[in-house]
Structure 1
Amino acid sequence: MKPKQIKIQDVTLRDGNQALRKPWTLEEKIEVFDLLTELRVDGIEVGFPSSNETEFIASKTLARRAPVGIPIAGLSRANETEIAKTWEAIQYANKPRMHIVYPVSDFSIRHVLKISESEVVQKIKKAVSFARSIVGKDVEIQFSGEHFGDAIENFAFTKEAFLAAIEAGANIINLPNTVERYRPMVFVNMVKEMKDFIGDRAKVSVHTHNDLGMATATSVECAYVGAEQIEVALNGLGERAGNTNLYETVIALHQNGENLGINFERIYPTAKRIAEMTGIPIGEKTPIIGEDIFSHRSGIHQDGVAKTIKQSKGAYRTFSPEFVGRKDAETISFTNQSGHRAIQFLLEKRGIVVPGEEIHRLFEIAKTISSNENNREITEAELVDLARGFALSP
């Protein structure tokens, strides 16, 4: 069921940017665009061109800047004037992609649109047909059914709506979990059923939000039920709790044997730069890019780490720091949760060999100091000083 190739479509410049307290300037958008091309994502959504003149100019500028063969998408609502404006901006890309969005869930139709399901279908047909008439036969059209993940009550209708989009000219069907409300497999099963229904008539894409903290897991699993494209964002940026995180998604797929074109070594420097540009700090426990993810303080973990630290697969490490462009390394530090192996490892790094019976004495002293001083960490330098105080041989 898994597609032969999984495409990574980035939406940072649209979905990520629109959620920022201070949206990026044109110069900043150009920098983010260049970071994305260096990462070698498969496609980039550059903005919402019809929303305002600033977005239009930025989208047009980035479309002109796009490398050959990279799909450059612009988002539009199902409105002919907006679709035409979007095309005016993105047509300059080597491979432009029109992206049209319209709600499909029962809740949105009844409480937001306040129209009938038949009117929704007609609106979709009209919008996609118009888009096809102006972009020509070779340009990709992606249709997103907004709130697809919330369409459990009217799932049969969503099939009708997406089929209408395909018949009108859409060749990518995007299934958004616009607001994450349910466990991942609920959405994954919806994607599977839709993929089975669509078959080869269009490519299937997913776009998930992280309201419950499961966007990445949901998106990754969708690839194994037929989704051919995953929409992601740098640093997990996006509305509310953000979008599917690019770094977590591509590493998870890589770890499961998928062959992606991503330049993995650009992940960490890109993440750091995006944090600087947004003013949104990276949490120390953030997967892939957090400061603390290669640190080990538990005694049991430290023993495994010390024994496998030079191996490609670590006892408590998913990937090596250098794989994602980090310059740090696995670290072992001593707290009152640490074991004898931590002290031995840290001293041996400094060329200090401590007899086994002395390690135990040193361990007890270091642990007592840590416990008596509010369980603080004992630094490597302090351990070296303690060892020398015992006149242990280098």
Structure 2
Amino acid sequence: MSSVNKYARQYFMPPEPSLGWTQKEHITKAPTWCSVDLRDGNQALVVPMNLDEKLEYFQLLVGIGFKQIEVGFPAASETEYAFLRKLIDENLIPEDVTIQVLTQAREHIIRKTFAALRGVNNAIVHLYNSTSLAQREQVFRSSRQEIVDIAVTGARLFKECAEETEGHFQFQYSPESFTGTEIEFALEICNRVLDVWRPTQNNPVIINLPATVSLSMPHVYASQIEYVSNHLKYRDSVVVSLHPHNDRGTGVADAELGLLAGAQRVEGTLFGNGERTGNVDLITLALNLYSHGVNPELNLQDIPSILAEHQRLTKMEVGKRHPYGGELVFTAFSGSHQDAIAKGMKWREEAQRSHWSVPYLPIDPKDIGREYEGDIIRINSQSGKGGIGYVLEQHYGLDLPREMRETVGYAVKDVSDRLHKELMPNEIYEIFMNQYANIGRPIEFINFRFTQQREFEAVVTIRINDTITDLEGIGNGRLDAISNALLSNLEIEYSDLVYSEHALEIGSKSHAISYIGITAVSDGNTYWACGVDSDIMTSSVKALFSALNKLVLGLGISVSLEDMVNTGQN
């Protein structure tokens, strides 16, 4: 791209190596979560939520388990102010939930904010002013000292207003546009604010270091966080917080590395809704922890319901491939993926393992309210035998022999490819039953009977076209006797009969299904089919006749009793 030279680095590295986070393998406990859906998320909506919608969303967040919820910018609009007062006046804030409000470092806005908070049990009051080089030079045209003075003056006014206002308040400060601020200056202004507030362990202060605009790779943000965290005054009485945006698509990585670097708290939104490319997605962060065996301390057992409520209230769509929440995130269409998932699920069931390790599935979808049937393996022309076999087994109880799955897979994929569509389980079942089960033409099975001496003697009645005849055969078992009756009387040669059967309990009133594969002597191909019947022996015979008919049709053999039957006719 010809304009690339106009771009240069807009971020600042710490003045000393800050790489302690690189020695940590993983996050060991959940951070304090703060949802900013009702402020940062709401102001990013095409149509912001009304008062009733905000209340519903607040209740959704409480149900998920958020203990800190930013409810708005009460000095910004009448709706924001009215919503905050409704929460307080109608006692709608649970005792264990702390609300948070945002204010610029401007006197009339600060005073209006504290007035809106009158009578609150617990609130975080969040002060911010922009500190980046670009903002100082281009927007405010102010010196570093002038920017520090704005923050310090606001911090002093916070103390004054808090003393005059009924309620309990915790203070938070953000050097807004932190990622574009010289790191030494960001540290300086945070420490100057802390000197005003003088936090204690009983009354800690939150220092929030936002990636208001993501300007660097995640490791740079982590080093910036670590440097500030290690050099803050009153560190034992300070909660270091993150507020990553997603301009570079690295919001989650920024947050995870920032937590390794010493942060204790994260501000974000459900599914990442926020300005521009969005805020960091708290659900993704929380379930990433969960996938490593760390309790996220949020109630995420029903992601589909959370997603539905989020989309209804925000009128925003969440992508089908969005981590954890998207409709298709656990879905495999690829044949090799489906085969591995199907085998992994079966192995897990057989081995009775306590730890989750199924290929292609980082967590158990059922843990977050997703179902195996319809969510994990879906079928189109890219699918394979393993996935198709899995769908038939999960939905209809059909445990196809491994060798049979390939031919069934090709048959199903051929239909999907021809129709250019995904096939639903009922459509796959219909294809299977139509093409493989109880095939009665051109050689129709009518009945059988047995006698037993040293071996089984079978008489099987068949119909070809409109002619009926009995065929006789001897074998070491009932099915072997019937197979020999066919081989010895019909001019059709096959070998290597493969047989399996099982009880059928799903989707049918029948009780048994039998699968048979026979190999044609003429071309070496194996022809598979099945029989379904309430009687296991009858289902086996129907399977044999179905396989024989597939062989006849596959080879293009023209059959008639006059040409093919060597015994007398009835």
How far apart are 1:4 and its partner, in Å? 6.2
Aligned to 2:173: 143
8 Å Cα contact 1:353/1:393 also seen in 2: no
Aligned to 1:263: 299
8 Å Cα contact 1:70/1:94 also seen in 2: no
C-alpha distance in structure 2 between counterparts of 1:354 and 1:361, whole Å: 11
Aligned to 2:66: 41
C-alpha distance in structure 1 between counterparts of 2:430 and 2:380, whole Å: 16
8 Å Cα contact 1:299/1:341 also seen in 2: yes
Q: Which has the higher helix share?
A: 1
How far apart are 1:132 and its partner, in Å? 1.5
Q: Which has the higher mean CA deviation after the structures are superposed, 76-85 or 330-339?
A: 330-339
**Distance change >3 Å, CA 383–CA 26, structure 1 → 2:** closer
Whichever residue aligns with residue 31 of structure 2, its letter is I
Name the TM-score, length of structure 2 as normaliser. Answer: 0.65
**Distance change >3 Å, CA 351–CA 322, structure 1 → 2:** closer
Aligned to 1:278: 314
1:243-289 per-residue CA deviation (whole Å, 9 max, x = no partner) reads: 11121111112223433321122543122111012221222111111
1:189-228 per-residue CA deviation (whole Å, 9 max, x = no partner) reads: 1111111111325211010111121112211221111111
Aligned to 1:370: 416
Aligned to 1:84: 111
Q: Percent identity?
A: 30
C-alpha distance in structure 2 between counterparts of 1:234 and 1:191, whole Å: 23
The answer to whether residue 171 in structure 2 is matched with residue 125 in structure 1 is: no
The answer to whether residue 216 in structure 2 is matched with residue 182 in structure 1 is: yes
C-alpha distance in structure 2 between counterparts of 1:344 and 1:218, whole Å: 41
C-alpha distance in structure 1 between counterparts of 2:364 and 2:29, whole Å: 27
**Distance change >3 Å, CA 257–CA 221, structure 1 → 2:** farther
Q: Over alpha carbons, which structure has the higher Rg?
A: 2
The answer to whether residue 239 in structure 2 is matched with residue 193 in structure 1 is: no
How far apart are 1:356 and its partner, in Å? 4.4
Within-5 A mapping of 1:106-255: 106-136=133-163, 139-151=169-181, 154-169=182-197, 171-198=205-232, 199-255=235-291
The answer to whether residue 49 in structure 2 is matched with residue 21 in structure 1 is: no
Aligned to 1:342: 387
Secondary structure class of the residue paired with 2:531: coil
Q: Which has the higher mean CA deviation after the structures are superposed, 294-303 or 120-129?
A: 294-303
How far apart are 1:234 and its partner, in Å? 1.9
C-alpha distance in structure 1 between counterparts of 2:107 and 2:302, whole Å: 39
C-alpha distance in structure 2 between counterparts of 1:155 and 1:204, whole Å: 15
Whichever residue aligns with residue 37 of structure 1, its letter is V
Aligned to 2:472: none
C-alpha distance in structure 1 between counterparts of 2:387 and 2:296, whole Å: 37
1:311-343 per-residue CA deviation (whole Å, 9 max, x = no partner) reads: 444322122333223456443233332222223
How far apart are 1:5 and its partner, in Å? 5.5
C-alpha distance in structure 1 between counterparts of 2:365 and 2:410, whole Å: 32
Whichever residue aligns with residue 408 of structure 2, its letter is L
The structure, 1 or 2, with the larger RCO (C-alpha pairs under 8 Å, 6+ apart) is 1
1:129-154 per-residue CA deviation (whole Å, 9 max, x = no partner) reads: 11022214962100011100112xx2
C-alpha distance in structure 2 between counterparts of 1:102 and 1:15, whole Å: 16
Q: Which has the higher strand share?
A: 2
Secondary structure class of the residue paired with 1:179: coil
**Distance change >3 Å, CA 365–CA 323, structure 1 → 2:** closer
How far apart are 1:3 and its partner, in Å? 8.4
Secondary structure class of the residue paired with 2:236: coil
8 Å Cα contact 1:59/1:90 also seen in 2: yes
Q: Tell me, which stretches of 5 or more residues in structure 1 are unaligned? A: none
C-alpha distance in structure 2 between counterparts of 1:176 and 1:258, whole Å: 25
8 Å Cα contact 2:30/2:297 also seen in 1: no
C-alpha distance in structure 2 between counterparts of 1:337 and 1:326, whole Å: 23
Within-5 A mapping of 1:352-371: 352-371=398-417
Aligned residues: 391
What's the RMSD between the two structures over aligned residues? 2.3
Secondary structure class of the residue paired with 2:243: strand
Aligned to 2:332: 296
Whichever residue aligns with residue 369 of structure 2, its letter is G
C-alpha distance in structure 2 between counterparts of 1:353 and 1:47, whole Å: 56
**Distance change >3 Å, CA 369–CA 47, structure 1 → 2:** same
How far apart are 1:237 and its partner, in Å? 1.4
Whichever residue aligns with residue 65 of structure 2, its letter is R
Whichever residue aligns with residue 159 of structure 1, its letter is L
How far apart are 1:362 and its partner, in Å? 2.4
**Distance change >3 Å, CA 379–CA 259, structure 1 → 2:** closer
C-alpha distance in structure 1 between counterparts of 2:59 and 2:403, whole Å: 57
Q: Tell me, which stretches of 5 or more residues in structure 2 are unaligned? A: 1-20, 22-26, 200-204, 349-355, 438-529, 533-570
Name the TM-score, length of structure 1 as normaliser. Answer: 0.92
**Distance change >3 Å, CA 361–CA 85, structure 1 → 2:** same
Secondary structure class of the residue paired with 1:393: strand
Q: Which has the higher mean CA deviation after the structures are superposed, 258-267 or 322-331?
A: 322-331
How far apart are 1:113 and its partner, in Å? 1.4
